[in-house]
């Protein structure tokens, strides 16, 4: 490719709103341009990288036995209704109506579509297992897009769906995909950590996220030093240390409490430890249920865990209004004790206690009245939760589940996910069955597996760059060689440079970007080459004679080599 004719040349300045290094470099080097927020053009350089990433994934998926196909991106909305996902995905789903008044969902993920095409065949147990995948556009009506390719509203995803006879067969495929994903990312130079994560609106019982450790990553996760355990903050578990369980239960007592409404105000007033205070957070869910979540004062509520425990789809904080007029309590003074007796009769209230309330005794906190607190609140005796479980947010420094080490907090870029779906879709969708050995109809046991192509591309740039530009790993680089021609106004040099270019590309079928510009200075060409980040820089000039200056982008050393040598070491 002649650089003079390449569409998408380098520019000096990054967009003023670009904060991420991958966003800045991909923009400046001419790989991407924004259409509207969160929707990107892949320019020719960017598309070359995207195609290479896709090809690596394709080969590994095929090698793992999966089969590529392609589904429409307009999904009949009736399918999403069949699994109730029109409700559970909320606002991120985009919908459209055609001229015949038929409604479609724009592909978010494609579980229903794949089940729909599979059920058209009514497979037998002999046809199973199989794993079918596609590279297909996905749409997310995100409220906020992030700069560059990390959180976008439209992107290519490799999404795969496995259909198995039973859990045992599925587990093999889950392991197979796990290993395949590890290989895929490693081959692009990305070391990934596999963390337990939340399945969001996908469904199923467990799933794992593949993250590339990075300070700018959106996935916060907790892990042990040797990563025996690693989990997204949304699901991370930890061990609650026991506090004062040897204390005797003291009688419940109401006390004056002229204090502010924060936890800190309670600590200051009563001069008791934070952990002994009960933290009460009142939510309202999408069905209008009031959910009073309570937890030890030194922990925070994890809303994702709370949603799972209560089967809520979305939660919002109750307003002061609601606390006063519907719950008849007082903001900052809510208490689980006696709350069921004071609320409006038409209100459904669910009291949810974190497991940590079993690690303390004689807790203090609000009394459902302004400026009144209760001392010596004890679970079972003074309040009885409707639900008890793990609704706490793990933090760095907390004890690991095995109590042997402290959790460490890290951030990472989510590049892939694997999900156990089990019967989540096959039991909700009609005829999602296969014929077993005895002629009986059985639902599929399923899994699904996604990789975001653009996000993987951005993660590579986040990992591989220096202050001058990108440093592409060889197998995803847009070109292998960046040939810089200097002194091209000298006819002799020009002839040599074009000969080298033609030999490399036409005779030896190697990928070369040739900076053939005649009016551009050597300094500018060097800077552009560093910015674009192609693995091997070749320089031909008056001074190089019949040799070529070769420099690897990630090394300082410059060699003067013959073309034969370069070609020989490249094939």
The contact set with a second copy (CB under 8 A) reads 1, 4-9, 33, 35-36, 39-44, 46-48, 50-51, 65, 67-76, 91, 94-96, 98-100, 102, 106, 113, 116-118, 120-121, 126-127, 130, 132, 134, 137, 139, 141, 143, 153-154
Are the C-beta atoms of 348 and 285 separated by less than 8 Å? Answer: no
Alpha-carbon separation of residue 221 from 118, 239, 395, 450 (angstroms): 36, 16, 9, 19
The two tokens of residue 472 are: 């592409």
Please state the closest distance from residue 41 (CB atom) to a second copy, in A.
5
In the bound state with a second copy, the residue whose beta carbon lies nearer, of 164 and 354, is 164
Output the CA torsion 19→24→27→30 (10° steps): 180
Q: What are phi and psi of 373, to 5 degrees?
A: -120, 160
In the bound state with a second copy, the residue whose beta carbon lies nearer, of 121 and 345, is 121
Please state the closest distance from residue 47 (CB atom) to a second copy, in A.
5
Cα–Cα distance between 179 and 164 in angstroms, integer? 18
Instruction: DSSP letter for 506, please.
Output: I
Local structure of 224: helix, strand or coil: coil
In the bound state with a second copy, the residue whose beta carbon lies nearer, of 4 and 175, is 4
In the bound state with a second copy, the residue whose beta carbon lies nearer, of 96 and 255, is 96
Please state the closest distance from residue 170 (CB atom) to a second copy, in A.
15
Return all residues near 78 (Cβ < 8 A) that are at least 6 apart.
103
In the bound state with a second copy, the residue whose beta carbon lies nearer, of 375 and 449, is 449
Q: What are phi and psi of 15, to 5 degrees?
A: -60, 145
In the bound state with a second copy, the residue whose beta carbon lies nearer, of 161 and 221, is 161
Alpha-carbon separation of residue 547 from 395, 496, 544 (angstroms): 58, 10, 5
Cis peptide before 50 (omega within 30 of 0): no
Are the C-beta atoms of 327 and 339 separated by less than 8 Å? Answer: yes
In the bound state with a second copy, the residue whose beta carbon lies nearer, of 206 and 498, is 498
In the bound state with a second copy, the residue whose beta carbon lies nearer, of 42 and 391, is 42
In the bound state with a second copy, the residue whose beta carbon lies nearer, of 112 and 373, is 112
Please state the closest distance from residue 164 (CB atom) to a second copy, in A.
12
Cα–Cα distance between 29 and 12 in angstroms, integer? 9
Alpha-carbon separation of residue 272 from 230, 250, 275, 278 (angstroms): 34, 15, 9, 12
Residue owning tokens 């609000």: 366
Please state the closest distance from residue 176 (CB atom) to a second copy, in A.
14
Cα–Cα distance between 564 and 557 in angstroms, integer? 19
In the bound state with a second copy, the residue whose beta carbon lies nearer, of 17 and 215, is 17
Please state the closest distance from residue 65 (CB atom) to a second copy, in A.
7
Cα–Cα distance between 383 and 372 in angstroms, integer? 17
Please state the closest distance from residue 53 (CB atom) to a second copy, in A.
13
Please state the closest distance from residue 416 (CB atom) to a second copy, in A.
21
Alpha-carbon separation of residue 454 from 22, 46, 198, 234 (angstroms): 11, 9, 22, 24
Are the C-beta atoms of 77 and 86 separated by less than 8 Å? Answer: yes
Longest dimension (CA), the chain: 99
Q: What's the first-to-final CA gap in the chain, in angstroms?
A: 19
Output the CA torsion 320→324→328→329 (10° steps): 50
Neighbouring-strand partners of residue 163: 130, 446
In the bound state with a second copy, the residue whose beta carbon lies nearer, of 310 and 456, is 456
The two tokens of residue 168 are: 């045992």
Alpha-carbon separation of residue 243 from 136, 358, 433 (angstroms): 52, 9, 52
Please state the closest distance from residue 373 (CB atom) to a second copy, in A.
43
Cα–Cα distance between 81 and 359 in angstroms, integer? 43
Nearest to 273 by CA among 241, 301, 303, 251: 241
Nearest to 440 by CA among 165, 161, 168, 204: 165
Are the C-beta atoms of 359 and 296 separated by less than 8 Å? Answer: yes
In the bound state with a second copy, the residue whose beta carbon lies nearer, of 68 and 524, is 68
In the bound state with a second copy, the residue whose beta carbon lies nearer, of 106 and 304, is 106
């Amino acid at each position: 490719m002649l650089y003079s004719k390449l569409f998408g040349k380098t520019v000096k300045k990054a967009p003023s709103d670009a904060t991420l290094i991958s966003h800045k470099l991909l923009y400046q080097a001419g790989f991407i341009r924004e259409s509207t927020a969160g929707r990107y053009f892949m320019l020719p350089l960017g598309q070359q990288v995207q195609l290479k990433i896709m090809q690596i994934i394709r080969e590994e998926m095929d090698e793992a036995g999966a089969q590529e196909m392609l589904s429409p991106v307009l999904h009949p909305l009736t399918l999403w209704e069949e699994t109730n996902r029109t409700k559970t995905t909320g606002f991120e789903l985009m919908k459209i109506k055609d001229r015949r008044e038929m409604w479609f969902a724009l592909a978010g993920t494609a579980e229903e579509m794949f089940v729909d095409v599979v059920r058209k065949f009514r497979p037998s147990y002999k046809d199973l297992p199989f794993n079918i995948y596609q590279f297909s556009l996905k749409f997310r009506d995100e409220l906020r897009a992030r700069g560059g390719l990390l959180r976008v509203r439209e992107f290519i995803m490799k999404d795969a769906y496995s259909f198995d006879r039973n859990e045992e067969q599925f587990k093999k495929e889950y392991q197979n995909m796990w290993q395949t994903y590890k290989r895929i990312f490693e081959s692009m130079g990305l070391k990934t950590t596999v963390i337990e994560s939340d399945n969001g609106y996908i469904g199923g019982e467990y799933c794992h996220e593949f993250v590339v450790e990075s300070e700018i990553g959106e996935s916060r996760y907790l892990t042990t030093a040797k990563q025996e355990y690693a989990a997204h903050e949304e699901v991370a578990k930890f061990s609650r240390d026991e506090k004062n369980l040897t204390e005797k239960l003291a009688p419940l007592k109401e006390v004056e409490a002229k204090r502010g409404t924060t936890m800190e105000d309670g600590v200051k007033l009563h001069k008791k430890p934070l952990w002994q205070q009960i933290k009460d957070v009142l939510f309202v869910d999408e069905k209008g249920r009031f959910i009073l979540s309570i937890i030890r004062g030194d922990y925070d509520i994890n809303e994702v865990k709370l949603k799972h425990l209560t089967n809520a789809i979305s939660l919002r904080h109750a307003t002061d209004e609601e606390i006063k007029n519907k719950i008849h309590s007082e903001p900052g003074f809510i208490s689980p004790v006696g709350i069921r007796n004071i609320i409006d009769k038409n209100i459904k209230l669910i009291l949810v206690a974190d497991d940590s309330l079993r690690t303390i005794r004689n807790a203090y906190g609000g009394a459902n009245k302004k400026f009144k607190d209760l001392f010596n609140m004890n679970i079972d005796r003074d309040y009885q939760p409707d639900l008890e479980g793990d609704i706490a947010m793990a933090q760095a420094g907390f004890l690991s589940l095995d109590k042997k080490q402290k959790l460490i907090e890290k951030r990472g870029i989510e590049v892939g996910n694997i999900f156990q779906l089990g019967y989540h879709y096959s039991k909700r969708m009609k005829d999602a069955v296969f014929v077993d050995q005895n002629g009986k109809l059985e639902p599929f046991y399923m899994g699904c597996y996604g990789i975001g192509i653009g996000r993987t591309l951005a993660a590579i740039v986040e990992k591989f760059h220096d202050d001058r530009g990108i440093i592409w790993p060889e197998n995803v680089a847009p070109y292998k060689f960046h040939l810089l021609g200097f002194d091209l106004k000298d006819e002799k040099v020009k002839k040599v440079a074009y000969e080298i270019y033609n030999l490399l590309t036409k005779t030896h079928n190697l990928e070369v970007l040739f900076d053939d510009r005649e009016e551009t200075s050597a300094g500018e060409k060097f800077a552009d080459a560093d910015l674009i980040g192609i693995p091997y820089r070749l320089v031909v000039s008056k001074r190089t004679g019949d040799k070529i200056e070769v420099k690897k982008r990630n090394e300082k050393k410059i060699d003067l080599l013959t073309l034969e040598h370069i070609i020989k070491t490249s094939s």
